[in-house]
Structure 1
Amino acid sequence: MTEEIQPAQGAYVIPGAEFTRDTTYIEDRITADGRDGWPVEAGRYRLVAARACPWANRTAIVRRLLGLEAAISLGMPGPTHDERSWTFDLDPAGVDPVLGIERLQQAYFARFPDYPRGITVPAVVEVASGKVVTNNYAQITIDFETEWGALHRDGAPDLYPVELRAEIDEINDGIFRDVNNGVYRAGFAGSQSAYEKAYDRLFDRLDALEARLAGQRYLVGDTVTEADVRLFTTLVRFDAVYHGHFRCNRNKLSEMPALYSYAKDLFQTPGFGDTIDFVQIKQHYHLVHTDINPTGIVPKGPDLSGWLSPHGRESLGGRPFGDGTPPAPPLPGEQVPPGHGAA
């Protein structure tokens, strides 16, 4: 899930406690047969995905890779939020131009007036009713890959091949537990022991992934899959925020040769790096987590030019899109602003 909206801004660390993520989501699914009442239909839904959030970033990447831009529009809240909700403060007059709302909270309340949980991104909203359909980030990308097939672009890659799903699911489980959520378990730890436990699990898993990726280009098979998308969104944020802000500082990603080269390979693959806004990423973590960074100072570094340097991963073989083709460039209005990427 995304970072939860807390009862009061800055209340992310509970003294003496481990960080426990609320993994209860709106379980409705948008499917080809519409069995939950939400059939796949071009133009019916809007994906709300903040650039700053790693969990939302996954959905934006998969949407790009599969060419679903014409089927499901994209709303992008700004990088910060308050105790109530993510807001559309980057849009003219602070209003999402399709949904006509200032806060994502309004879409949740339109369906559940007493919604008791965090207002999270990514979320899929039905445009006509203004009601949130689902915020189950893990299922959203799987459904994009498996249920939205009739609306995929020509040449869309198979990100969740049937014959590899068991292996993808297994590696995703470890990546979520120890890496995707692991950095948060370290950063939001309320005790020394909780922090050290999370830290050790994180780097044990990264060491295992370093060894795995030393001899193969992608995590599973010889093409990009759902597993690579899930790992990438944490790796690309590692040196910029997790190393310092979350104290995941045994080493930087740039000091792990295989993982860094792997992440650079993906960054330079169309559909990945062109969704990454480092300015918003740094603003989000350093401005929202005021109990970790009470001054609100956003670091100037690190140097991001390395993301565009040669990675040498072609020597391991593999084809990023398999029998498919790269996606088209980002749509107008969806490009990362100049100076916000790695260039």
Structure 2
Amino acid sequence: MGDGNSAYGKKKFKRSRSHFADRITADGRDGWPVTEGRYRLVACRACPWASRAVISRRLLGLEDALSMGIVDPIQDDRSWRFTLDADGRDPVLGIRFLSEAYDARETGYPGGVSVPAIVDVPSGQLVTNDFQQITLDLATEWTALHREGAPDLYPERLRDEIDDVMHGVYEDLNNGVYRAGFATNQKDYEEACTAVFHRLEWLSKRLAGQRYLVGDTITEADIRLFTTLVRFDPVYHGHFKCNRWKLAEDPVLWAYVRDLFQTPGFGDTVDFDHIKRHYYEVHTGINPTGIVPLGPELAGWLSAHGREELGGHPFGDGTPPGPVRPGEEVPASGRP
């Protein structure tokens, strides 16, 4: 995420490349074969990049194969902390700070500690923090461990189009809101903010006549767009000054994001309390008082969206995921 995988300051915002880019694959070519129960996903529900992996894991039914730890949305100078767990330790890894897994992999690593991270449980070492690749591999390399009825989130016949759509969304919107929010001069801010809304307008036109971004089922492209849109009104509109208009003021995008929110695997992973507290309390350079706003009201997320009229099948020939696993539920404080 931005706080652990980017560079702020007086220069233009620049997101760093993932330093640990090993892949967990079916053939184990990087030394990390897909193995049930061997790895642990560490995520923060506040982070859009980590939330992609949380959603993918749930949609694909990988809960038994890939355990998950959730860190506190508020970091300290040691970065991500397991203070939500008993005794302040991750119950599987036995560590207090995610940085311990980074240190186990590379002592004295000078870069930031970011989520999502996948850790090798036997050795305690970080395997990868490559947020762009993790979800693609969950969809394509972990197929032997997918649940029955799991959707194909990265169908081969649509990959070129998915990649093209995701590239534009990443540059202008996923990362663009950060470039606007952390801009330190008017020119950089205006360029980034303008690109954000040009992309939103493009998306609104595209989604006016089709239920999902690419094809007639949910794909990786929808997951990556959702994790930014669900944060737009609560944090990006005010905190990052992306305030030309609210998402709720665009009928198409507001209906689209509510459709996904109400789809099993999406909204049931979202913690609005974590999202708001992280951005407003951690980014002290932008919000020095640390005050977390009361709004916006959340009840609208559960209102009818009408997107079924566009057709499409969320899970293709598959089925929705089952109920959220005990212990992985979002607390009532974070739900509409």
Q: TM-score range by the shorter chain?
A: over 0.9
Q: 1:266 aligns with which of 252, 260, 264?
A: 260
Give the superposition deviation at 1:161.
0.3
1:93 aligns with 2:52: no
Q: 2:276 aligns with which of 266, 271, 282?
A: 282
Aligned to 1:199: 193
1:72-221 mapped onto 2 (5 Å cutoff): 72-221=66-215
1:63-74 mapped onto 2 (5 Å cutoff): 63-74=57-68
Give the superposition deviation at 1:195.
0.2
Residues 96 and 102 in structure 1, CA contact (< 8 A), matched pair in contact too: yes
Residues 176 and 182 in structure 1, CA contact (< 8 A), matched pair in contact too: yes
Q: 1:14 aligns with which of 9, 25, 47?
A: 9
1:39 aligns with 2:38: no
Give SS of 2:77's match.
Answer: coil
For 2:175 and 2:291, the matched residues in 1 are separated by: 24
Residues 49 and 74 in structure 1, CA contact (< 8 A), matched pair in contact too: yes
Give SS of 2:59's match.
Answer: helix
Residues 6 and 83 in structure 1, CA contact (< 8 A), matched pair in contact too: no
Residues 51 and 76 in structure 1, CA contact (< 8 A), matched pair in contact too: yes
Q: Kindly provide the CA deviation profile for residues 53-89 of structure 1, in whole angstroms up to 9, marking residues without a partner as x.
A: 0000000000000000000000000101123220001
Give, as a single letter, the amino acid of the residue that structure 2 aligns with 1:5. Answer: G
Give the superposition deviation at 1:13.
4.7
Give SS of 2:333's match.
Answer: coil
Residues 46 and 127 in structure 1, CA contact (< 8 A), matched pair in contact too: yes
Give the superposition deviation at 1:14.
2.1
For 1:145 and 1:304, the matched residues in 2 are separated by: 31
Residues 241 and 282 in structure 1, CA contact (< 8 A), matched pair in contact too: yes
Q: Which runs of 4+ in 1 moved over 6 A?
A: none
Residues 5 and 16 in structure 2, CA contact (< 8 A), matched pair in contact too: no
Give SS of 1:119's match.
Answer: coil
Q: Kindly provide the CA deviation profile for residues 276-324 of structure 1, in whole angstroms up to 9, marking residues without a partner as x.
A: 0000000000010001111111111101111100000000000000000
Residues 18 and 129 in structure 2, CA contact (< 8 A), matched pair in contact too: no
Evaluate the alpha carbon distance shift between residue 241 and residue 330 of structure 1 in structure 2; reply closer, same or farther with a 3 A threshold: same
Give the superposition deviation at 1:6.
8.5
Cα RMSD after superposing both structures: 1.1
Give the superposition deviation at 1:4.
3.0
What TM-score do you get using the length of structure 2 for normalisation? 0.98
Give, as a single letter, the amino acid of the residue that structure 2 aligns with 1:14. Answer: G
Aligned to 1:230: 224
Aligned to 1:332: 326
Give SS of 1:29's match.
Answer: coil
For 1:264 and 1:39, the matched residues in 2 are separated by: 37
For 2:161 and 2:43, the matched residues in 1 are separated by: 27
1:296 aligns with 2:295: no
For 2:100 and 2:156, the matched residues in 1 are separated by: 38
For 1:61 and 1:341, the matched residues in 2 are separated by: 16
For CA contacts below 8 A with separation 6 or more, give which structure has more relative contact order: 1
For 2:4 and 2:155, the matched residues in 1 are separated by: 34
Residues 13 and 291 in structure 1, CA contact (< 8 A), matched pair in contact too: no
Residues 223 and 320 in structure 1, CA contact (< 8 A), matched pair in contact too: yes
Residues 5 and 82 in structure 1, CA contact (< 8 A), matched pair in contact too: no
Residues 53 and 121 in structure 1, CA contact (< 8 A), matched pair in contact too: yes
Evaluate the alpha carbon distance shift between residue 208 and residue 6 of structure 1 in structure 2; reply closer, same or farther with a 3 A threshold: closer
Aligned to 1:309: 303
What TM-score do you get using the length of structure 1 for normalisation? 0.96
For 1:323 and 1:288, the matched residues in 2 are separated by: 42
Aligned to 2:4: 5
Give SS of 2:170's match.
Answer: helix
Give the superposition deviation at 1:18.
1.6
Q: Which runs of 5+ in 1 are unaligned?
A: none
Give, as a single letter, the amino acid of the residue that structure 2 aligns with 1:240. Answer: P
Give, as a single letter, the amino acid of the residue that structure 1 aligns with 2:28. Answer: G
For 1:4 and 1:341, the matched residues in 2 are separated by: 24
Residues 5 and 84 in structure 1, CA contact (< 8 A), matched pair in contact too: no
Give SS of 2:12's match.
Answer: coil
For 2:321 and 2:18, the matched residues in 1 are separated by: 33
Evaluate the alpha carbon distance shift between residue 25 and residue 6 of structure 1 in structure 2; reply closer, same or farther with a 3 A threshold: closer
Evaluate the alpha carbon distance shift between residue 6 and residue 150 of structure 1 in structure 2; reply closer, same or farther with a 3 A threshold: closer
Identity %: 63
1:24 aligns with 2:24: no
Q: 1:242 aligns with which of 228, 236, 241?
A: 236
